[in-house]
Amino acid sequence: MDNTNPSTFERDLSAALSRKAAVVVPGFADRVVEGVQVKRRRANVIRWSSWITTAAAACFFTVFLTKEPSEESLIKQTHALLASDESAQFNEILGLANDLSVLAPVIEKSTLVDVLTSPGS
């Protein structure tokens, strides 16, 4: 310091500043620790939220975007669809055919031809 020969001014300056050099604030240390703890908790919440969001995004991506059905399962699905759809049609057709086949013995071709070709018809 260069105030080795202090005048009244220097003495008063020093005294005025020294009186305010140290200001004890009651409970200040507790407030700081509390502030640090709040910031720490907030940082933890942000860290966990970020982790959870990332994990959820990764799961979503895996399940909905990256999972392609295998060829085998596609074939099975196609067959199942065909089977379910076509079976009804086949049944109808087959049912008709059955009816025809049931009727077939009743209306014999030869009898019909005979009737049509008989002289009186």
Partner 1 sequence: MSQEEPLLPDDVEDKRLMLLVAGGDDDALRLLVHRHHPRLVGYLRGEVGSQATAEELAMEVFIRLHRAANRWRPEAKLSTYLIHIARNLVLNEWRRRGRKPTTALDSTPEPGDHSQTSARRLNELDEAFQRAIAQLPPEQRTAILLVVQQELAYEDIAEIMDAPVSSVKTWIHRARGRLRELLKDFYGPA
CA–CA gap between residue 80 and residue 74 (Å, rounded): 10
Query: Residue 44 Cβ, how far from partner 1 at the closest point, in Å?
Result: 12
Query: Residue 51 Cβ, how far from partner 1 at the closest point, in Å?
Result: 20
Query: Residue 72 Cβ, how far from partner 1 at the closest point, in Å?
Result: 55
- In sequence order, the 6+-apart residues with CB closer than 8 A to the CB of 121 are 115
Whole-angstrom CA distances from 117 to 73, 104, 105, 108, 109 are 61, 20, 20, 14, 12
Token match 């799961």: residue? 59
Site for partner 1 in 11-30 (CB under 8 A): 12-14, 16-25, 28-30
Residue 37 sits in the site that holds partner 1 (CB under 8 A): yes
Footprint of partner 1 on this chain (CB under 8 A)? 1-3, 8-10, 12-14, 16-25, 28-33, 35-37, 39
